A = this chain, B = another copy of it.
Amino acid sequence: MEIDYKKELQNAAKNMIFVHDPDLLIKMMVRMIVNKARIAHASFFLHDKRKDGYLLTVSKGSLGKKIPLDLVRIDKDDVLIRFFRSHMSRFLFGREVLLYSEAKSALKNSKIKQEVKQQLAHVLYQMELLESLVCIPSYFRDELLGILLLGKKNNGKNFVDEELDFFAALNSNVTMAVRNAQLFKELGFELDRKHQLFVRTTIALAAAIEAKDHYTHGHTTRVTNLSLEIAREISQKNKGGFDAKFLENLHIASLLHDIGKIGVPEHILNKRHELTVGERNRIKEHPMIGVNILKPIKELEGSVLGVRYHHERFDGKGYPDGLRGEQIPLIASIISVADSFDAMSTDRPYRSALPKDDAINEIGHLSGRQFCPRIADTLLKLCKEGKI
């Protein structure tokens, strides 16, 4: 059956632009070539920037097993690479595609310099090792991005020009798509790095601020871990669960929930004796101080809810706004339970730590009064299952 190469190319181009994984793109191309043109085997060596070599990325057909292991990576100084990097194929044969048969004939051509023939002989030896009859280089601008190697056809016939043109055109399309995919991947990595930088800087600054309050060493980290653990548990119970944005907001809100303490004088935070009413009121200002610090950052408005309301109580007797029940944003209810549990289980200036079991009982006891019952239950469940 005749193959409509034009149509195949059109379809391939359409399918490939949204594949943002270079390896998968190459796999698609190699599979297509092997299947459509019925070739014994094909493989692709892709340039690896970090290693500055060409790595066997895809191998289809019988070649995979036969490639000597030390050839799975082709060095950038290898004769085959240098041959294509210097565009020798175009120079000798008028096209980028290199045919084994053509190269073999060239060795007998008296017009070709001895020096070039020597290089060509090395290239041929390399092609024999790789059992390849055709080499198709992938150029992006002036860089050699990779090489596609094809074995013999299953029917033993020679490759015809129409086929070679199709392979070259397809390979050229794939080269573009691969470069596009690489750019996408790099942008994705960049985004990830930026997110990590944001989170780590927030952690470092929150930890520095926490260090002012001598009695809360490690508190922020523990509250953050526990809040996320509670959220994950709720997510698992409910289909769909929380979206990534909620978890990100919770993460940042837990890290920053006590940020407002920076506005409370050190001598009050670290006082060893009972606080006066005035001092207590100064401490109660910390959620709103935190809100004021973070208010200018629009992207954090979801997190700010957690900072503002983490001292509200389910029965409406909390602060700063006296919200009650479902009025309290979920993000704040989660932090409230995690924060109180950690406070109960560590020493404070005015009392020593409760044993873990007692702290858990206390949370259960205050469920529906201080705490949202749904969150308190989740904490109890996590504890029962030995997860905290």
Contacts and interface: CB of A to CB of B under 8 A. Distances in A.
Interface stretch (A58-66, A71-79, A100-108, A171-179): A171-179
Contact of A297 (B13, B176, B188, B200): B200
A3 interface: no
B205 A169 contact: no
B259 A208 contact: yes
A176 B14 contact: yes
Given A180-B180, A187-B187, A202-B201, A293 B17 contact: no
Interface in A125-172: 169, 172
A297 B212 CA distance: 21
Given A208-B262, A259-B208, A266-B265, A187 B191 contact: yes
B173 A13 contact: yes
A269 to B, nearest CB: 11
What class of interface size applies to chain A in its complex with B? 35 or more
A194 interface: yes
Nearest to A206: B205
A300 interface: yes
A370 B203 CA distance: 35
Contact of A208 (B18, B177, B191, B263): B263
Contacts of A191: 187, 190-191, 194
Contact of A300 (B18, B194, B201, B207): B201
A297 B297 CA distance: 22
Contacts of A198: 194, 197-198, 201
B193 A17 contact: no
21 contacts: A6-B6, A13-B173, A14-B176, A17-B179, A180-B180, A184-B187, A190-B191, A191-B194, A193-B299, A194-B195, A197-B198, A198-B201, A200-B296, A201-B201, A202-B205, A204-B293, A204-B296, A205-B259, A207-B293, A208-B209, A266-B266
A300 B197 contact: yes
A347 to B, nearest CB: 22
A10 interface: yes
A211 interface: yes
Interface string A8-21: 01100110011000
Interface in A190-228: 190-191, 193-198, 200-202, 204-209, 211-212
Given A9-B10, A204-B297, A209-B262, 11 more contacts: A14-B172, A183-B184, A196-B299, A197-B300, A198-B201, A200-B296, A201-B202, A204-B293, A205-B209, A208-B262, A208-B263
A24 interface: no
